[in-house]
C-alpha cells in the first residue's frame, strides 16, 4: 500500500496524477494540457507567451492569460490541497511573467528517467555494463506510451512532447546494445516494443528491436518485425529501410544475433485463444491495467497477483484472457496457463503436484529432470522463474492452497487468477489483489448480445431478453448462438420462454460441449455443505427484493448463528450476494436454478412448511413493529406461529420505523405471495399492519397496491370482516391519491359490514375517514355530520383515542363553516385528551386544526406558534402528511403577514417533506405547493 500522502506524476505516457494509491482528476482538458507542458519542461521556466502558444497555438482567446492564472491556482490546490490561497507551494512557482514546475525523481517520472539514464551512460562509459543495464531497464519501464498522451493541442506542444519521446527512444536503443553485450536481451524487449509503437517510423528503434528479438531466440518474430516496418516506410513515406535497419535484418538472416550458448530458447505461449467477439467490460479492463501500472513500483519484491472471483457465467475467464493477450508482449519470457478445474471441488481439481509438473514441462525441463516431491518441484519452478518476466494465468482455482505453490519467483511477473470464491488467504499471505467480477451494465450487455447475433433481431425484445437473463454474459452468449443456428426462432418465443420463471433455464437448451447456465451453477452447488444446499433451495421462495439473515433463519427453521454461517458459505460461492442493506439476493437465473432444485428435491410438505414459516415471520414481525407504533386501532393478533419461526421484536419507536423501512419492498411482495398461495398467513392481516408506515412516510401507491392484493385474497376466501378492514384502508390510499368518489364508495361498503357486525369502533373510524373525504370535496356540512356521528360512536364504544380524533374532525368542520367560536372549545377538548394520553401521533393534526381556527379568529400570531408546534410534533414521530401540512400552512400564513423570508423557509421545509414521498407526493399536495410557490414568486 502506497503512503496516502505521496504524490506521483506521470508525463511519459498519458498524463496521470496519484496521491497514494488514489488517482486524481486533473480537471478539464485545457487544464490538463497546461499541467502536461509544465511537467514536460520540468525545471525550466516557461513564459506566458510560450504557455499561450503551447495551449492555443496561433488562435488564443482574449482571456488566455486569465484562464492560465485560474488553471495554475486549480493545479496548485490539486497538487497541494492544504496550500493556502495565493501561496505558490512546492511545485508551481511564478517566474517573471510565466511559471516553472519543479519536482524530484520520487514525484515526476521524467526526472527519475533522466537521472537513471545519466547514471546508466556513466556506468556504460566505465564498462560497468551490468549496472548500466539495471539503470536503463528501471528508467525504460517508467515509460507508458507517447509523452502527454493526446494532449498536444498545438504544434509547439507536439514538439515538446516529441522531445521526451526522443529521449526515450535514444535510451532504449542504447539499452538494447548493452543488453546484447551482456547476453540478457530479454530485459529490454518490453520497452523496445513500447518504443516501436510510439516511434512507428523510428528506424534505429526498429533496428534495435529486430536485433534484440534475434538475440533472445525469437528469429521469426524479428523477421516479422522487419517486414512490418519496411511496409510502413514504403506506404507512408515511400522509402526503403536505411542501412542500419537493413544490416539488422542481415544479421538475423545469418544468425549472428543468435542467443548466447547455454541460454534457453524456450518461450512458452500458452494463453487460451482470445474471445474474438469480446466487447465492453471497461471497468474490469481498467482495473487490470492499473495493476499493471503498479508493477512499476521498485519496492515490490514479489509478483503482482490479481485474483478475480465471481458467479459462474459472469465472464471472469473471458475478461482475464482478453487482458492477458493485450499485455502478453510485455512479458518477454513467456506466458503460462493452467486450467485448475476448481469447479470440480477438492477431489476433482488439479493437485499442486500435477500443476507444477505441467509448468516445468512448459518451461523446457525434460521429463527425466522433473523432481518428484512437492518441495523439490516448487524449488525448481522458483529457480526457473527467478528474475524473469512471466505472465501466468491460473483459471478456475479451487482455493489459495492450490495456487500458492504456482506463484513465480519474480517481482517482474504477473499472475492472473480466476475462481468462484474469493481467495482471501492469498490476499492475507501473498498480497494478492482481490476483485469480484460484476455483471455488465445494460449498454455492455446489449453489445455482448448484438455482437453475437448473426440473424436479424427485433429491438423491441432485446432489452427484455437481456434483463430476463439478468445480464449474465454466458446466458446471453448461449441465447445468441441458439438464435443464430435457428433463424426461424423468433425473439418473441424466446422472451415467452424466459418469462416463465419455473422453466426459465429451459430457454438455454442443453447441448454436448456447451456450458449453459444450469451447468455453470451446478458446479458451485455441488460444493456446498448439505445445510447450505438446503438453504439455497429454500431461498428460491424468498422475496425477489431480498431476505435478511433473520428472515432466512425462519425460512429454514434453523437458529440464526447457523443460518448466518450458511449464508456466508453461499455468498463465498457467489450464489447469493449480500447488499449494503444487509439483505441477501440471488441472480435471476441462479434463483431459477434454486427453484428447479427446490421443486425436485424437497418434499411437498417441506416446501409448504418453509414458505409458511417465512410468511409467518413477516406477519408476526410486522405485527410486533406496528404495536410499538401505537396505531389508532390495535392490530388484530395473528395466529400462533409454527415452530422454527423467530419473529423480530422492535422495542422502540425508531427501531419499529427502521424495521418497516428495511422490509417495505419485501412486505409488499410477501402479501402478494400469500394471496397467490392461499396458505401460510391471512394476507389482509399483514397488509393492515403496514398501513400506518405507508401513510406517514408517503408510500401511497405501495399502500394502494398492497391493499388491492389483500382485498382479492379476502374476497377469494370469503372473509367478509377482513374485506371490510381492507376496504377502509384502501379508501384511505385512494383519498390520498385524489380518488375521492371511489374512496366514498369503498367506505360505504366497509361501513355496511361494520354495522352488520356491531363493530362500533370500526364504524367510528370509518366515519372519520368519510369526514376527510367530504372535507376534500368542500362538503363541510356533510363532513360535520360524519364527525358528530363518529363522536357519538366513540363515546358509546368508550374509546378515548378515537374520540380525540373525532373531536378534531368536528372542530375542523366547524371552523371551515365559519363557526370559529364553536370550534375553539371542541378543538381544545381534543388537544386536552391528546396531552393527557400522550400521543404525539395526532398532536400535529390537532394543532393544524387549531391554527386554522385561530386564523379565523384573527389571532394570527397564536396560529403561527401552533403551526410551529405542529411541525415539531409531526417531525418527532415521522408523520409525513401533517409535517407537510404544518409547513405549507405556516408558509402561507407568514406570507400574508409579510414575513417573506420566514414563508420561504417554511416553503422549503414543506418541499423537502413532499420530495421524500413516493413519486414526489400525491397530485393535490403538489398542486398546493405549486400554488404557494406562485404566490411566493409574486411576493418576491
Cβ-Cβ contacts under 8 Å for 250 (sequence gap 6 or more): none
The CA R_g of the chain, rounded to the nearest whole Å, is 37
What is the average per-residue pLDDT within 908-924?
89
- Closest by CA to 143, choosing from 99, 101, 198, is 198
Least confident of 251-265, 364-378, 729-743, 791-805: 251-265
What is the average per-residue pLDDT within 118-140?
92
Of the pLDDT bands very low, low, confident and very high (cuts 50, 70, 90), residue 630 is confident
What span, in angstroms and rounded, lies between the C-alpha atoms of 258 and 254?
9
User: Which pLDDT score is estimated for 263?
Assistant: 36
Question: Cell for 746?
Answer: 369503498
Q: State the residue for C-alpha cell 374520540.
A: 803
What is the average per-residue pLDDT within 688-711?
92
- Closest by CA to 178, choosing from 131, 238, 239, is 131
Tens-digit pLDDT profile for residues 190-204: 899 999 998 888 999
Number of Cβ atoms within 10 Å of the Cβ of 61: 11
Phi first, then psi: give them for residue 307, nearest 5 degrees: -115, 120
Tens-digit pLDDT profile for residues 431-454: 889 998 888 888 888 888 888 877
User: Which pLDDT score is estimated for 512?
Assistant: 56
User: Which pLDDT score is estimated for 258?
Assistant: 40
Q: 134-137 — which CB contacts under 8 Å span 24+ positions?
A: 136/171, 136/174, 136/175, 136/178, 136/179, 136/188, 137/175, 137/187, 137/188, 137/191
Helix (H) or strand (E) holding 101: strand 98-101
What span, in angstroms and rounded, lies between the C-alpha atoms of 75 and 9?
12
Percent of the chain with pLDDT over 70: 95
- Measured between its terminal Cα atoms, the distance across the chain in Å is 56
pLDDT at residue 514 greater than cutoff 80: no
Which residues partner with 585 through β-bridges?
577
Question: Cell for 374?
Answer: 512437492
Quick one: angle between helices 840-856 and 860-877, nearest 10? 160
Tens-digit pLDDT profile for residues 171-181: 999 999 999 88
Higher pLDDT, 224 or 473: 473
What is the average per-residue pLDDT within 360-364?
86
The distance of Cα 9 from the centroid of its chain, to the nearest Å, equals 29
Tens-digit pLDDT profile for residues 551-594: 999 999 999 999 999 999 998 888 998 888 888 998 888 898 89
Quick one: angle between helices 155-182 and 189-198, nearest 10? 150
pTM across the whole model:
0.67
What is the average per-residue pLDDT within 307-326?
88
Higher pLDDT, 221 or 166: 166
pLDDT at residue 488 greater than cutoff 80: no
Helix (H) or strand (E) holding 418: strand 414-419
Question: Cell for 890?
Answer: 405556516
User: Which pLDDT score is estimated for 468?
Assistant: 86
Tens-digit pLDDT profile for residues 270-312: 898 888 888 888 888 888 888 888 877 767 788 889 999 988 8
Higher pLDDT, 462 or 414: 414
pLDDT at residue 162 greater than cutoff 80: yes
Higher pLDDT, 773 or 581: 773
User: Which pLDDT score is estimated for 443?
Assistant: 86
Tens-digit pLDDT profile for residues 794-821: 999 888 889 999 999 999 999 999 999 9
Mean pLDDT over all residues of the chain? 87
What span, in angstroms and rounded, lies between the C-alpha atoms of 854 and 860?
6
User: Which pLDDT score is estimated for 265?
Assistant: 43
Cβ-Cβ contacts under 8 Å for 483 (sequence gap 6 or more): 453, 455, 457, 489, 491, 494
Contact 386, 317 (CB under 8 A): no
Least confident of 73-82, 325-334, 509-518: 509-518
Least confident of 3-17, 35-49, 129-143, 253-267: 253-267
Amino acid at each position: 500500500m502506497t503512503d496516502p500522502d505521496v504524490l506521483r506524476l506521470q508525463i511519459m505516457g498519458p498524463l496521470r496524477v496519484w496521491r497514494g494509491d488514489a488517482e486524481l482528476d486533473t480537471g478539464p482538458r485545457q487544464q490538463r494540457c497546461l499541467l502536461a507542458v509544465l511537467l514536460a519542461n520540468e525545471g525550466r521556466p516557461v513564459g506566458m507567451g510560450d504557455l499561450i502558444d503551447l495551449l492555443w497555438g496561433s488562435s488564443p482567446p482574449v482571456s488566455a492569460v486569465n484562464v492560465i492564472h485560474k488553471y495554475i491556482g486549480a493545479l496548485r490546490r490539486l497538487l497541494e490541497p492544504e496550500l493556502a490561497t495565493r501561496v505558490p507551494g512546492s511545485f508551481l512557482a511564478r517566474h517573471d511573467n510565466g511559471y516553472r514546475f519543479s519536482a524530484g525523481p520520487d514525484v515526476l517520472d521524467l526526472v527519475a528517467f533522466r537521472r537513471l539514464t545519466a547514471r546508466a551512460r556513466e556506468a556504460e562509459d566505465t564498462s560497468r555494463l551490468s549496472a548500466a543495464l539495471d539503470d536503463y531497464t528501471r528508467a525504460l519501464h517508467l515509460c507508458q506510451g507517447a509523452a502527454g498522451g493526446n494532449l498536444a493541442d498545438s504544434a509547439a506542444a507536439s514538439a515538446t512532447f516529441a522531445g521526451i519521446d526522443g529521449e526515450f527512444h535514444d535510451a532504449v536503443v542504447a539499452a538494447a546494445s548493452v543488453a546484447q553485450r551482456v547476453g540478457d536481451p530479454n530485459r529490454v524487449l518490453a520497452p523496445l516494443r513500447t518504443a516501436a509503437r510510439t516511434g512507428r517510423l523510428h528506424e534505429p528503434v526498429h533496428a534495435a528491436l529486430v536485433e534484440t528479438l534475434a538475440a533472445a531466440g525469437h528469429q521469426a518474430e524479428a523477421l516479422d518485425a522487419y517486414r512490418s516496418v519496411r511496409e510502413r516506410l514504403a506506404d507512408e513515406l515511400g522509402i526503403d529501410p536505411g542501412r542500419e535497419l537493413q544490416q539488422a535484418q542481415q544479421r538475423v538472416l545469418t544468425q549472428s544475433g543468435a542467443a548466447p550458448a547455454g541460454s534457453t530458447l524456450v518461450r512458452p505461449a500458452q494463453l487460451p485463444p482470445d474471445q474474438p467477439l469480446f466487447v465492453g467490460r471497461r471497468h474490469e479492463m481498467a482495473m487490470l491495467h492499473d495493476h499493471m501500472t503498479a508493477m512499476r513500483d521498485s519496492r515490490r519484491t514479489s509478483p503482482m497477483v490479481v485474483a478475480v472471483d465471481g458467479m459462474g457465467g459472469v465472464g471472469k475467464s473471458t475478461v482475464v484472457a482478453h487482458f492477458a493477450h493485450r499485455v502478453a508482449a510485455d512479458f518477454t519470457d513467456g506466458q503460462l496457463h493452467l486450467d485448475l478445474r476448481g469447479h470440480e471441488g477438492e477431489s476433482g481439481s488439479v493437485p499442486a503436484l500435477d500443476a507444477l509438473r505441467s509448468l516445468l514441462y512448459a518451461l523446457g525441463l525434460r521429463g527425466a529432470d522433473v523432481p518428484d516431491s512437492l518441495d523439490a518441484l516448487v524449488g525448481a519452478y522458483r529457480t526457473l522463474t527467478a528474475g524473469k518476466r512471466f505472465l501466468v494465468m491460473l483459471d478456475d482455482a479451487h482455493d489459495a492452497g492450490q495456487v500458492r505453490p504456482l506463484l513465480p519467483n519474480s517481482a517482474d511477473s504477473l499472475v492472473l487468477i480466476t475462481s468462484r470464491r474469493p481467495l482471501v488467504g492469498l490476499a492475507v499471505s501473498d498480497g494478492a489483489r482481490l476483485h469480484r467480477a460484476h455483471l455488465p451494465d445494460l449498454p455492455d450487455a446489449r453489445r455482448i448480445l448484438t455482437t453475437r447475433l448473426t440473424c436479424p433481431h427485433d429491438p423491441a425484445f432485446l432489452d427484455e431478453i437481456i434483463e430476463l437473463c439478468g445480464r449474465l454474459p454466458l446466458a446471453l452468449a448461449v441465447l445468441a448462438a441458439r438464435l443464430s443456428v435457428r433463424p426461424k426462432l423468433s425473439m418473441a418465443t424466446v422472451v415467452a420462454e424466459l418469462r416463465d420463471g419455473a422453466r426459465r433455464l429451459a430457454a438455454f437448451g442443453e447441448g454436448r460441449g456447451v456450458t449453459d447456465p444450469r451447468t455453470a451453477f451446478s458446479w458451485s452447488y455441488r460444493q456446498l455443505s448439505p445445510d447450505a444446499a438446503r438453504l439455497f433451495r429454500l431461498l428460491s421462495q424468498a422475496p425477489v427484493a431480498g431476505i435478511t439473515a433473520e428472515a432466512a433463519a425462519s425460512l429454514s427453521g434453523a437458529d440464526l448463528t447457523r443460518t448466518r454461517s450458511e449464508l456466508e458459505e453461499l455468498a463465498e460461492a457467489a450464489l447469493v450476494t449480500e447488499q449494503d442493506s444487509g439483505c441477501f439476493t440471488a441472480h435471476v437465473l441462479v434463483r431459477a436454478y434454486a427453484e428447479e432444485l427446490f421443486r425436485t428435491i424437497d418434499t411437498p410438505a417441506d416446501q409448504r412448511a418453509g414458505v409458511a414459516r417465512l410468511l409467518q415471520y413477516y406477519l408476526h414481525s410486522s405485527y410486533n413493529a406496528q404495536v410499538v407504533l401505537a396505531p389508532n386501532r390495535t392490530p388484530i393478533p395473528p395466529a400462533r406461529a409454527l415452530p422454527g419461526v423467530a419473529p423480530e421484536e422492535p422495542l422502540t419507536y425508531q427501531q419499529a420505523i427502521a424495521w418497516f423501512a428495511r422490509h417495505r419492498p419485501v412486505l409488499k411482495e410477501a402479501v402478494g405471495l400469500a394471496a397467490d398461495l392461499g396458505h401460510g398467513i391471512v394476507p389482509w392481516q399483514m397488509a393492515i399492519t403496514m398501513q400506518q408506515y405507508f401513510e406517514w412516510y408517503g408510500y401511497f401507491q405501495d399502500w394502494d397496491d398492497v391493499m388491492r392484493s389483500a382485498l382479492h385474497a379476502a374476497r377469494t376466501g370469503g372473509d367478509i370482516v377482513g374485506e371490510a378492514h381492507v376496504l377502509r384502508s384502501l379508501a384511505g390510499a385512494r383519498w390520498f391519491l385524489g380518488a375521492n368518489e371511489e374512496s366514498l364508495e369503498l367506505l360505504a361498503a366497509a361501513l355496511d359490514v361494520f354495522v352488520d357486525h356491531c363493530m362500533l369502533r370500526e364504524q367510528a373510524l370509518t366515519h372519520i375517514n368519510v369526514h376527510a373525504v367530504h372535507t376534500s370535496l368542500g362538503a363541510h356540512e356533510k363532513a360535520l355530520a360524519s364527525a358528530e356521528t363518529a363522536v357519538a360512536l366513540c363515546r358509546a364504544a368508550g374509546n378515548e383515542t378515537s374520540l380525540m380524533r373525532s373531536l378534531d374532525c368536528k372542530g375542523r368542520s366547524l371552523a371551515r363553516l365559519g363557526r370559529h367560536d364553536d370550534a375553539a372549545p371542541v378543538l381544545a377538548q381534543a388537544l386536552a385528551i391528546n396531552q393527557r394520553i400522550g400521543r404525539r401521533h395526532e398532536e400535529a393534526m390537532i394543532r393544524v386544526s387549531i391554527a386554522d381556527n385561530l386564523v379565523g379568529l384573527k389571532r394570527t400570531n397564536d396560529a403561527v406558534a401552533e403551526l410551529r408546534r405542529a411541525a415539531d410534533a409531526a417531525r418527532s414521530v415521522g408523520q409525513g402528511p401533517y409535517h407537510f401540512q404544518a409547513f405549507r400552512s405556516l408558509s402561507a400564513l407568514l406570507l400574508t403577514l409579510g414575513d417573506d423570508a420566514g414563508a420561504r423557509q417554511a416553503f422549503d421545509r414543506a418541499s423537502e417533506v413532499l420530495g421524500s414521498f413516493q413519486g414526489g407526493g400525491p397530485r393535490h399536495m403538489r398542486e398546493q405547493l405549486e400554488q404557494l410557490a406562485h404566490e411566493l414568486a409574486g411576493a418576491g
